[in-house]
Amino acid sequence: MLTSAELEQFDRDGYLVFPALLGEEKRQRYVAAFDELVERAKELKTDSPPTWTLERDSEGKPLAGVLHKVQGVCVVDFRALFMAQEPEITSRVESLIGPEMAIFGTKFFPKLAGDGTSVHWHQDNFYFDSDSDQIISCGIYLEDADRTNGCLRVIPGSHKQGIAEHERPDDVDAKGYRTEIDESKAVDVVCPGGTVVLFSANLLHGTNDNESDAATGRSRYSTAWHYLSPDTDIPPYSSGSYADWHVLS
């Protein structure tokens, strides 16, 4: 459960960081599971929609075998769903949305050294056509994350400023939509492996590319998904036909 101080911080800043919340044994077990997905992707020559997305070269063409994202990772590998149900995480989410919860929009980002590209500044609720404060996004950083290998970045308090205008950039390697922010307000969430970050789906956030060297650098495995009450209506995700919607027991 969250303390009163943590609840006040979440209300003020829009996010909470729990360093190394997953113990080392669990962290290593999940890293090994995601290693398998990275290996599976090495067989791909191009994207395999809607699940597997590869990184891009300078011309915007897929880099064979270099994984960017697994969309619907809890559908692809049940072990990711186990991680979403870890009591260290759900007990804290419960303080924000109550004991009944579901997750949707599950993703795995390996952010491989030398090739891992960024998710630009955005708000998750922009994609859901919502401004609900009852959707809690969750990032789990299974490896140490800093500016060099592309840690999470946030704008504290931005969850109270409404949904910003987003646009789809023209860059050949751009992923999704983005919005403009005041960089002077950005906070880098530097954290050890096993860290869990809970944040409002209205919070402005993004990452940098992984700039560590491909030969000697570091990947930055992470997952992302969204907790909410099962009776929250977020079409089309809550329609019953969306496979990556999971009611947690």
Domain contains 48: no
The per-residue pLDDT for range 194-232, each reduced to its tens digit, is 999 999 999 999 999 999 988 888 999 999 999 999 999
Q: pLDDT band for 135, please (50, 70, 90 cuts).
A: very high
Inform me whether the pLDDT recorded for 92 exceeds 80. yes
Average pLDDT over residues 43-71: 95
Q: How many CB atoms sit inside 10 A of residue 30's CB?
A: 21
State the Cα–Cα distance between residues 87 and 232, nearest whole angstrom: 22
- Predicted confidence at residue 170, as pLDDT, reads 73
> DSSP string of 126-139?
HHHT---TT-EEEE
Given pLDDT bands bounded at 50, 70 and 90, which one contains residue 174? low
Two tokens, residue 82: 């186990």
Q: Which residues in 4-13 are b (16+ Cβ under 10 Å) and which e? A: eebeebbeeb
| 173 pLDDT above the threshold of 70 | no
Q: Please count the residues of the chain.
A: 249
Q: Are the beta carbons of 151 and 207 closer than 8 angstroms?
A: yes
pLDDT at site 14: 98
CA atoms within 13 A on the CB side of 98: 11
Cα–Cα nearest to 117, from 145, 151, 150 = 150
225 falls within a domain: yes
Host domain of residue 98: 4-16+70-247
Angle at 237 between CA 94 and CA 99, to 5 degrees: 15
User: What's the CA angle centered on 103, arms 100 and 107, to 5 degrees?
Assistant: 160
**CATH number for the domain that contains residue 75:** 2.60.120.620
Please check whether residue 154 lies inside any domain of the structure.
yes
Reading the block at residue 32, the tokens are 């090994």
Q: Is residue 37 part of a domain?
A: no
pLDDT at 172 over 70: no
pTM of the model: 0.96
Cis peptide before 99 (omega within 30 of 0): no
3-state secondary structure of 187: strand
Question: Average pLDDT, stretch 95-106?
Answer: 97
Residue among 209, 207, 41 nearest 114 (CA): 209
Q: What confidence category does residue 169 fall into, taking pLDDT thresholds of 50, 70 and 90?
A: confident
Categorize the per-residue pLDDT at 34 as very low, low, confident or very high, splitting at 50, 70 and 90: very high
pLDDT of residue 176: 84
What is the reported pLDDT for 37? 98
Q: What are phi and psi of 58, to 5 degrees?
A: -65, -15
pLDDT over threshold 70, residue 106: yes
Is there a domain that residue 9 lies in? Answer: yes
Instruction: Report the chain's mean pLDDT, rounded to a whole number.
Output: 95
Domain annotation covers residue 212? yes
Answer whether residue 50 is part of any domain: no
Structural domain total, the chain: 1
